[in-house]
A and B are shown apart, each in its own frame.
Chain A
Amino acid sequence: MLEIDNVTKRYNGTLAVDGASFTARSGRILGLLGPNGAGKTSILRMVNNITKPDAGEVRLFGDVVGRATQHAIGYMPEERGLYKQMKVVDQLTYVARLKGLAKQDAKKAAGEWLAAVEAQDWRDKRPTELSRGMQQKVQFALALIHAPRLVILDEPFSGLDPINSVLMERVIAERKEAGAIIVFASHRMEQVEQLCDDICLIAAGRILIAGDLAQVKRQFGRNTVQLGFDGEGVFIDRLAAAGQVQVRRRGTGTAELQLLDDYQPDALLEAAQANVDSLHQFNASYPSLREIFLQTVGAAKDARQATEDGA
């Protein structure tokens, strides 16, 4: 278990992480979500013992993180690259050695991981000869080569084509099955929604929501409705004007609405049936992660603004 316990970190007087607490468990994927500059990378660096918290503790399997825990962690940072003049296989072996593998084991692991990310052919190539996607797969292998019990991936899919994304997702799923803790930082909501078991939403250094993804969604209720119909959609404008729904998306005969306040799906269904020629889709669902994100971060921002104005 990875525990972030009331951690605070300041840089140059700016509060980057403000009393953050959350946990990530073995065999589960935690999505760390937040806008740019929210404090995600700051937290990940403290977990990796690159920087130390000003207050609070980061614990991995019960031990406070330090030099000893570094070997148990695989890290793919957001700012990443490869040594320009080093062969791919040598880079893998080097990092594996730094992570504590013996020379022979490191070489063997390098070969296995090149195969795992379908990169055997580039073994003796230098990064300058590789495409960006290929480099990214090598960086991904660098994070996993020593079979870490905690895998941290910061924006792992950015700029990756769908085929390689699928390959990486498969590997991540395998590590999860093997019982590793996986922490996945991103602001790509769809991907987080697809992959993660738990989420942790962070903005301006504070944790806004943390917990099981399904539970979080339930908390927000079935407040999103997709409509498909023939006929006039004027009734939607009326509802929106009355402040009962907010229009998320709209096309000819389609709409996605968010129900506001206490307006219930049943009421919307009645209104729709009364106003359109025929209703062929009515789908009330949980909000997407994207909506939760926008709503929560927006609300937190407003609250902060209000406090600052008040002060």
Chain B
Amino acid sequence: MLGVVFVNEYVRRVKTKTFVLTTLLVPLAVVGIIGLVGGLISHSVESESERIRQDGIAVLDETGQAMSALREAAAADGEEYRLVEVFGPVERAKQAVLEGRQQALVVLPRGLVEESPAAPIAVYVKTKQSVLTERAWRSLILGAVREMRLARHELPPEALATLRERLAFDVIEVSEEGDRSGSIETSGAIGTAIAMAIFLFATIYGGSVMQAVMEEKSSRMAEIIVASVGAFELLLGKILAVSAMAATQVGAWLLLLLVGGVALGVAVGFSGFEGAVGTGAGEQAADQLPFDLPAVRWDVALLVVLMLPLGYLINASLFAALGAMHENPWEAQMSVTVAMLPMLLAIIVAQTMVFAPNGPLVAFGSFFPFTAPAILPARMLLADMPVWQVALSVALTVATTVGMVWLCGRIFRGSLLIYGKKLTWRELRQVIVAD
């Protein structure tokens, strides 16, 4: 009977126009939004830097010796900043910015090269600049000043080279199986990514689970159906069907994005940008990541594949239980906040684990069934967890998922036959313990 319920619920949902439309249109919309936002940002940044290039940056050099070093640094940067030296009091130079004749004014205070200057290096602007522009200016100006300060000491070129050399820094963990150097940020990022994925799926599809449960009551079909099939089977069939629908939709999105990406890659490849696709670009991209990619840990990958659906199910059953407790959609929607809390906890633990990787919060998070799906894989990357601990955590999560669906089934069965009102706490307790 579970199969009959599942097939009916699944086919019914997948055959709706809304499902087909959202499945097809969402990837387009996402790509469109990202493209639009990206395009707008890069356009405005470009037009801004273009304006700055045209107008030039005014430099008021109170030290009287920094201009050439700054020009040199600008040339080396390749950004072709047009630097215009201005003289006179700061107030007059600022007036030019205020009147829009100049986009930016850099003031290099007296004594900057020799000693700690009395005033900061200041850049006056007419309007707020992009964070990228600000960063470029900062590195350009500070770099030039640093070079001038070094030059004053007349250091031998070898000493300069030693000073400028970028050194590698690594934290290496020793273990029985050998040394390990994976960065802690990776674990935090993986934990957060899983927690966010669960949060995203559960919030997008939790509403569908809730609606599917409430539908039985609101359509007054519940009594006919539970006279044929157990409430637990009905509920499980519904939760699984909505989950399968979610998997179908997400799978279709990924497939569409993949096909779209490949098609785009081929198109770009044909129009002459060779090397944009293919392995070379991938390796390059990996080199540019802000953290080290650890060698793929297959045990962790497997665990993610197992825990992601469990994490979704455990949360979906919470939504289902809330749906069973309410008949009024408005009240049910309000109660969703409760279902959000465990997921928020998982995200918070994942985000804070980088600060205290060995702390009790992470240990707790890797066993607590509502956070374990996200925290356990991350913790496995952080530390050597004995197999029995991993097994215990997985077992706890599986048991809690089954327990949640069971509990929800009791509430569902008990509340199905109470029409037109919300369950009181007393009734809730009774429907859970009743035969």
Q: Which residues of A contact B (CB under 8 A)?
A: 12, 45, 48-52, 54, 67, 70-71, 73, 75-77, 79-86, 90, 94-95, 97-99, 139, 142-143
Partner of B224, one of A51, A52, A67, A80: A80
Partner of B223, one of A12, A70, A79, A82: A79
For the complex of A and B, list the 6 residue pairs with the smallest distance between their C-beta atoms, beginning with the closest. Answer: A81-B220, A98-B228, A77-B223, A48-B227, A75-B227, A97-B4
> Assuming A50-B226, A80-B223, what are 16 further A-B pairs, CB within 8 angstroms?
A12-B430, A67-B230, A70-B227, A79-B220, A79-B419, A81-B221, A82-B221, A83-B215, A83-B219, A94-B4, A94-B8, A95-B224, A97-B4, A98-B5, A98-B229, A99-B228
Residues of the B chain whose Cβ atoms lie less than 8 Å from the Cβ of A73: 227
Partner of A45, one of B4, B229, B417, B426: B417
CA distance A97 to B237 in the complex (A): 14
B435 CB–A CB distance under 8 Å: yes
Q: Which residues of B contact A (CB under 8 A)?
A: 1, 4-5, 8, 12, 16, 215, 219-221, 223-230, 417, 419, 426-427, 430, 435
CA distance A86 to B220 in the complex (A): 14
CA distance A139 to B16 in the complex (A): 24
Residues of the A chain whose Cβ atoms lie less than 8 Å from the Cβ of B229: 98
Partner of A49, one of B16, B220, B221, B227: B227
Residues of the B chain whose Cβ atoms lie less than 8 Å from the Cβ of A49: 227
CA distance A81 to B1 in the complex (A): 21
CA distance A94 to B219 in the complex (A): 15
Residues of the A chain whose Cβ atoms lie less than 8 Å from the Cβ of B426: 12
Residues of the B chain whose Cβ atoms lie less than 8 Å from the Cβ of A51: 417, 435
Residues of the A chain whose Cβ atoms lie less than 8 Å from the Cβ of B419: 79
CA distance A12 to B227 in the complex (A): 22
Residues of the B chain whose Cβ atoms lie less than 8 Å from the Cβ of A54: 435
Contact B219 A82 (CB under 8 A): yes
CA distance A126 to B64 in the complex (A): 85
B330 vs chain A, min Cβ distance (A)? 18
A79 vs chain B, min Cβ distance (A)? 5
Q: Is the interface of A mostly helix, strand, loop or mixed?
A: loop
Contact B5 A83 (CB under 8 A): no
CA distance A116 to B128 in the complex (A): 77
CA distance A12 to B5 in the complex (A): 31
Residues of the B chain whose Cβ atoms lie less than 8 Å from the Cβ of A143: 224
Residues of the B chain whose Cβ atoms lie less than 8 Å from the Cβ of A94: 4, 8
Contact A75 B224 (CB under 8 A): yes
Residues of the B chain whose Cβ atoms lie less than 8 Å from the Cβ of A139: 224
Contact A142 B224 (CB under 8 A): yes
**Among B16, B229, B419: residue with most chain A CB under 10 A:** B229
Residues of the B chain whose Cβ atoms lie less than 8 Å from the Cβ of A77: 223-224, 227
CA distance A192 to B1 in the complex (A): 35
Can you report 5 A-B residue pairs in the complex whose CB atoms are below 8 A from each other?
A51-B435, A75-B224, A80-B220, A85-B12, A95-B224
CA distance A70 to B231 in the complex (A): 13
Residues of the A chain whose Cβ atoms lie less than 8 Å from the Cβ of B224: 75-77, 80, 95, 139, 142-143
CA distance A71 to B8 in the complex (A): 19
CA distance A299 to B1 in the complex (A): 47
**Among A71, A81, A84, A142: residue with most chain B CB under 10 A:** A81
A46 vs chain B, min Cβ distance (A)? 11
CA distance A27 to B196 in the complex (A): 62
Residues of the B chain whose Cβ atoms lie less than 8 Å from the Cβ of A79: 220, 223, 419
A56 vs chain B, min Cβ distance (A)? 13
Residues of the A chain whose Cβ atoms lie less than 8 Å from the Cβ of B227: 48-50, 70, 73, 75, 77
CA distance A81 to B327 in the complex (A): 15
B230 vs chain A, min Cβ distance (A)? 7
Contact A52 B221 (CB under 8 A): no
CA distance A52 to B225 in the complex (A): 16
Contact B417 A50 (CB under 8 A): yes
B197 vs chain A, min Cβ distance (A)? 29
B135 vs chain A, min Cβ distance (A)? 54
CA distance A309 to B226 in the complex (A): 41
Contact A98 B219 (CB under 8 A): no
CA distance A142 to B225 in the complex (A): 10
CA distance A71 to B419 in the complex (A): 25
Given contacts A12-B430, A67-B230, is CB(A81)–CB(B219) below 8 Å? yes
Residues of the B chain whose Cβ atoms lie less than 8 Å from the Cβ of A75: 223-224, 227
B415 vs chain A, min Cβ distance (A)? 13
Given contacts A12-B426, A50-B227, is CB(A98)–CB(B1) below 8 Å? yes
Cβ-closest chain B residue relative to A98:
B228
Contact A84 B219 (CB under 8 A): yes
CA distance A48 to B229 in the complex (A): 10
A120 vs chain B, min Cβ distance (A)? 22
Partner of A98, one of B4, B223, B427, B430: B4
Residues of the A chain whose Cβ atoms lie less than 8 Å from the Cβ of B5: 98
CA distance A81 to B214 in the complex (A): 13
Contact A70 B219 (CB under 8 A): no
Cβ-closest chain A residue relative to B225:
A98
Residues of the A chain whose Cβ atoms lie less than 8 Å from the Cβ of B221: 80-83
CA distance A75 to B56 in the complex (A): 85
Residues of the B chain whose Cβ atoms lie less than 8 Å from the Cβ of A90: 8, 12
Residues of the A chain whose Cβ atoms lie less than 8 Å from the Cβ of B430: 12
CA distance A142 to B219 in the complex (A): 14
CA distance A231 to B287 in the complex (A): 115
B373 vs chain A, min Cβ distance (A)? 32
CA distance A80 to B1 in the complex (A): 21
CA distance A90 to B230 in the complex (A): 21
Contact B220 A70 (CB under 8 A): no
CA distance A67 to B230 in the complex (A): 8
B264 vs chain A, min Cβ distance (A)? 37
Cβ-closest chain B residue relative to A86:
B12
A291 vs chain B, min Cβ distance (A)? 33
B214 vs chain A, min Cβ distance (A)? 12
CA distance A52 to B231 in the complex (A): 14
CA distance A11 to B419 in the complex (A): 15
Cβ-closest chain A residue relative to B11:
A90
**Among B1, B227, B230, B426: residue with most chain A CB under 10 A:** B227
Residues of the B chain whose Cβ atoms lie less than 8 Å from the Cβ of A70: 227-228
Cβ-closest chain B residue relative to A67:
B230
CA distance A99 to B228 in the complex (A): 6
CA distance A81 to B427 in the complex (A): 24
Residues of the A chain whose Cβ atoms lie less than 8 Å from the Cβ of B12: 85-86, 90
